[in-house]
Chains A and B, each alone.
Chain A
Amino acid sequence: KQEVTQIPAALSVPEGENLVLNCSFTDSAIYNLQWFRQDPGKGLTSLLLIQSSQREQTSGRLNASLDKSSGRSTLYIAASQPGDSATYLCAVRPNQAGTALIFGKGTTLSVSS
């Protein structure tokens, strides 16, 4: 059974720091991996999606990497800002068919000004 773990559960950093959020999964047979952001009381916003054949994806100050063989992904946030404060969720899609995403419990990030 696929399990997704995110470390750390919470992280506090001062504004301007670069930081890394970690995601690990137990079964390397995945179709893709998505990183989401969730603000308090809100739904999920997709940040980056990495296909199983890809190594990384970039969007602005965000960079996500994928090492499928070791069951790991990282989300790198450059020059963090208070507006980056949110919960970041990692989710894997097991296969191409219409299967549901399997989520980690998230990392809650707080960036202080």
Chain B
Amino acid sequence: ELKVEQNPLFLSMQEGKNYTIYCNYSTTSDRLYWYRQDPGKSLESLFVLLSNGAVKQEGRLMASLDTKARLSTLHITAAVHDLSATYFCLLYTGGFKTIFGAGTRLFVKA
């Protein structure tokens, strides 16, 4: 069975701290995407990871992809309140098939 497991599902952290969100998957793939969703809003694209070893950074967020370990990470550096949102990984599995992770609801406390 194809699975995309995201953890943690909920994360409460202090401003200024670092943390990592993990996205593990059960099938071979070389494409993975990270999205952000604010409450009541749609999904905003954050990162596109297209190959093994890909690393992308934008502001306080950095995403990486290890296709051999079937693992992607989203690292948060020195969190600020504006990063509070739900973060999803989306795995491309071929053709027109994709699978979302369950999402990580992040809350950054002042």
Do the two chains bind? no
Show the binding face of A for B, using Cβ within 8 Å.
none
